[in-house]
Amino acid sequence: MNIHVFAITFFLVIAVGRGSAATVFEYDVLGRLTTSMRSDDLKTVYTYDLTGNRTRKVVSKVNDSSRGDLAIASGLYQGLAQSVGDTLGDSLLKLSVGTGSSFSGTLNFHGAIYQLKGAFVAGEGGVFVWNGSIHRSGLPDLIVSLRFDPSDPSGAITGTLSDDTDSATIALSRAGFDAKHPTALAGKYTVLLPANPDFPGDPYPQGDGYALLSVTAAGSVRLTGKLGDGSVITQSAPLSADGRFAVHLPLYKKRGVLAGWIDFQPVNEVSDFNGTLHWTKSDTAGGPLYATGFDLEVDLMGSRFVPPVAGHRILNLENSAENGVIFLGEGNLDQALNFPATLQASNVVQSAVTTPKAFVLTMTPSTGFFSGSFFHPVTKKTAVFSGVVFQKQNLATGFFPGLDKAGYVSLHRTATSALLLPPAGVITPSNEITHPPAFTLLQDDFDDGSFDASKWFVADNGDSRVAEESGVMKVETTITDKAGTLQTKVLTVPMDRPWTLTRRVLLHRDTPYSYQGGNKFFTGYMRFFIDQVQPFSVSYCDYDYSGDSPNSLPKHGFVLTRNGAGGTANPNTGNVTAELAALILDQWFNERVTYDPYTGLLRYYVNGNLLSEFDVGKPPDSSPRSMYIEFQAYAWWTTHWQHFDDFVLKSGE
């Protein structure tokens, strides 16, 4: 889905007090402040990240360029100087900008580290600049020119790096997130750097490189893996507010490099982020593989990784024997090979074939990494391979080294499936990260006539009734002041994408009980317990009694709660909503609950209508967490119940 935000601007002019400067405010179509301009020419520009959080506020004097009171947003700026020529190549720049206009940083130029320090000064047209030079003994000086334009919504620092023969373009992005402004892109990913079909044959690596990538909530990116020729890669980088980070990895003892930009711009059914990198190896670098060197482009593409719940496959393959196909090719093999294999529900891979003999593949479900070996028929030795699963395309791929060339190893669903590459050219940005197909965490239609103890647990029924009967789960109060309580078994639930619960519900409140002027006391609930998240619930209230506590109020309707609060809590505490709608009694209704761990939002629907969105809190990170759900239908006196049917809990929807 492509989301288009149209460039509609709203203006508001305010003048406050005697002698005050009139101010013009500009807003975008979403109602967010984008610019304020005072009559004394003081301009403030505001920018936002993909999740809507404000990331920058830049103040500048528009008409008086002689003043140097610039306020560049402080923080870390990181990016590349990229040249189309052979002299300068690709370099990495890091700048730490303090308050005002001063900065310090480094330039990584062909593996040599040069220090940068200075302050931006006002230039023409409201743009601020810095120019400096780097002296190199016996070599031409490097000239660095930096430029910051406060009116540029990207907030980038741009410029050039040059010597007497070549010039490179500089682009630096500011780190866009921190602990107070977390990114929704946080999580674990697997990465592929597949062989480029435009560079076939012996001179170029034909193995598929791979990596594991993590993004913290504060926007720190960590990449570790191997390229398609076995070169080890490791890098950390900040993520910009618009979802970009720079890759720059010196290779082969400073005789090669891997460099380029990666964008979190999902491509449907292909990748969650991608970019094209420049990969070079000098003909003086040597080594057993590709000793003559190469200069090529390689795609980097990533897929969000969701560790499988116990008993579920890491890839979406059939629940049958020979549900996948192994491919081996290149790497000094005489011919490409493929043969059937079975990925079991335990994520053990088995192959019944004897050629290549001793084929072994081991999955690591917690990370998506795999490794293994086979007998190489040409080298007559055991070839070791490694790679990662790529859930976005439902496959796994990697590489193995041969005598002087690298080869590929892949696991696909069918013999005709193939890895898809991102399309060339501009990719339309999206504000949504897509995920692997949804899978069911717990489902029960209660049609088998017996209580399934593998799914459900009677926590405390106080002799009240909890039973599966006539195709329905029944949770009842049949003993005065003693409610039946049902829980799901403890589940392991991914927290890097939303989950959804749907069911049919029937509520019943029977004998009224008169006390202190009220005659209703029914407080059923469905409560969620997630590790490291305060309990939250959907409560069903038909309740008159206020008791002696100022924190307990009469309620008549559906309410949502957080921080362990009960449904009768006072809304002024902030832990419970007001009544969302009148309670539905004695007739079946459809209920849908969704929870987004990134935002902490609980969304509640009745009969297809959204009643509320309520921030109930989020886990500290995106790792899977234990969770169970509790159901109760408590009331004074007896014969009250919560019955339900068609229960489905899914991850990824």
Task: Give the pLDDT band (50/70/90) at residue 193.
Answer: very high
pLDDT at 503 exceeding the cut of 80: yes
297 or 182, which is more confident: 297
Task: Give the pLDDT band (50/70/90) at residue 428.
Answer: very low
| Sign of the torsion formed by the C-alpha atoms of 391, 195, 233 and 268 | negative
Task: Give the pLDDT band (50/70/90) at residue 641.
Answer: confident
Q: What is the pLDDT of residue 183?
A: 85
Q: What is the largest CA-CA distance in the chain?
A: 97
For the ranges 185-199, 242-256, 498-512, the lowest mean pLDDT is seen at 498-512
Q: Give one DSSP letter per residue of 214-273, joined into a string.
A: EE-TT-EEEEEEE-TTS-EEEEEEEPBTTSEEEEEEEETTTTEEEEEEEE---BTTTBSE
Q: What is the pLDDT of residue 22?
A: 43
Query: Could you read off the pLDDT of 319-344 as tens digits, one per residue?
Result: 889 999 999 999 999 999 889 999 99
pLDDT at 426 exceeding the cut of 70: no
Average pLDDT for 287-296: 91
Per the CB < 8 A criterion, the answer to whether 131 and 121 are in contact is: no
**Cα distances (angstroms) measured from residue 393 to each of 15, 299, 312, 336:** 57, 15, 17, 22
pLDDT at 638 exceeding the cut of 90: no
Average pLDDT for 396-409: 94
**Cα distances (angstroms) measured from residue 651 to each of 297, 366, 443, 527, 537:** 37, 17, 12, 18, 18
Q: What is the pLDDT of residue 48?
A: 61
Nearest to 262 by CA among 230, 298, 229, 218: 298
- Please tell me whether residue 571 adopts helix, strand or coil conformation: helix
Of the ranges 53-62, 350-359, 373-382, the best mean pLDDT one: 373-382
Specify the amino acid at residue 545: Y
Q: Which residues pair with 263 in a beta bridge?
A: 244, 274
Q: What is the pLDDT of residue 41?
A: 52
Q: Are strands 499-508 and 555-561 parallel, antiparallel or unpaired?
A: unpaired
Percent of the chain topping pLDDT 70: 80
pLDDT at 442 exceeding the cut of 60: yes
Q: What is the pLDDT of residue 437?
A: 54
Question: How far apart are the C-alpha atoms of 245 and 216, rounded to whole Å?
Answer: 13
Task: Give the pLDDT band (50/70/90) at residue 144.
Answer: very high
Query: Could you read off the pLDDT of 507-557 as tens digits, one per residue?
Result: 988 755 555 544 556 778 999 999 999 999 998 887 766 554 545 566 778
For the ranges 40-44, 164-168, 177-181, 202-206, the lowest mean pLDDT is seen at 40-44
Q: What is the pLDDT of residue 24?
A: 52
**Cα distances (angstroms) measured from residue 255 to each of 94, 163, 258, 629, 652:** 21, 20, 11, 57, 44
Copy the structure tokens of residue 650.
């899914």
Average pLDDT for 163-185: 88
Task: Give the pLDDT band (50/70/90) at residue 173.
Answer: very high
Task: Give the pLDDT band (50/70/90) at residue 576.
Answer: confident
Q: What is the pLDDT of residue 430?
A: 34
Average pLDDT for 59-83: 66
Nearest to 639 by CA among 533, 483, 523, 530: 483
Any idea what the Cα angle at residue 290 is, between residues 289 and 295, rounded to 5°?
140
Percent of the chain topping pLDDT 90: 45
**Cα distances (angstroms) measured from residue 245 to each of 62, 79, 157:** 30, 8, 14
Question: How far apart are the C-alpha atoms of 544 and 547, rounded to whole Å?
Answer: 9
Nearest to 646 by CA among 447, 382, 453, 463: 447
Q: What is the pLDDT of residue 67?
A: 37
Average pLDDT for 613-640: 83
Task: Give the pLDDT band (50/70/90) at residue 653.
Answer: low
Average pLDDT for 602-607: 90
Q: In what order do the strands lie in the sheet with 232-238?
A: 232-238, 220-226, 209-215, 187-193, 294-304, 273-281, 256-263, 244-251
Question: How far apart are the C-alpha atoms of 519 and 153, rounded to whole Å?
Answer: 61
Query: Could you read off the pLDDT of 91-110 as tens digits, one per residue?
Result: 999 999 987 788 999 999 98
Bond preceding residue 401 cis, omega within 30 of 0:
no
56 or 593, which is more confident: 593
Any idea what the Cα angle at residue 215 is, between residues 209 and 217, rounded to 5°?
175
Of the ranges 13-27, 292-306, 509-523, the best mean pLDDT one: 292-306
Per the CB < 8 A criterion, the answer to whether 223 and 204 are in contact is: no
Specify the amino acid at residue 271: S
Average pLDDT for 598-604: 84
pLDDT at 74 exceeding the cut of 50: yes
Q: Are strands 601-606 and 337-343 parallel, antiparallel or unpaired?
A: unpaired
Of the ranges 260-264, 427-431, 522-526, the best mean pLDDT one: 260-264
Per the CB < 8 A criterion, the answer to whether 616 and 503 are in contact is: no
Question: How far apart are the C-alpha atoms of 205 and 288, rounded to whole Å?
Answer: 12
Whole-structure pTM value = 0.59
Q: What is the pLDDT of residue 94?
A: 96
420 or 447, which is more confident: 447
pLDDT at 49 exceeding the cut of 70: no
Q: What is the pLDDT of residue 54?
A: 61
pLDDT at 434 exceeding the cut of 50: no
**Residues whose CB is less than 8 angstroms from the CB of residue 642 and which lie 6 or more positions away in sequence, other chains included:** 475, 476, 505, 506, 507, 524, 540, 631, 632, 633
Terminal CA-CA length for the chain: 15
475 or 635, which is more confident: 475
Average pLDDT for 139-146: 92
**Residues whose CB is less than 8 angstroms from the CB of residue 627 and which lie 6 or more positions away in sequence, other chains included:** 490, 491, 492, 493, 528, 529, 530, 531
Burial of 431 (0-12, 13-18, 19+ CB in 10 A): middle
Instruction: Name the average pLDDT for the chain.
Output: 82
pLDDT at 631 exceeding the cut of 90: yes
- Give the total residue count for the chain: 653
Q: What is the pLDDT of residue 184?
A: 81
Rounded to the nearest angstrom, the gap between the alpha carbon of residue 175 and the centroid of all alpha carbons in its chain is 17
Q: In what order do the strands lie in the sheet with 167-174?
A: 112-119, 102-109, 90-97, 75-83, 167-174, 157-162, 139-148, 128-136, 121-122
pLDDT at 1 exceeding the cut of 50: no
Q: Give one DSSP letter per residue of 263-296, joined into a string.
A: E---BTTTBSEEEEEEEEE-TTS--SS-TT-EEE
Q: Give one DSSP letter per residue of 389-442, joined into a string.
A: EETTTTEEEEEEE-SSSEEEEEEESSTT--PPPPPSSPPPP-S----SPPEEEE
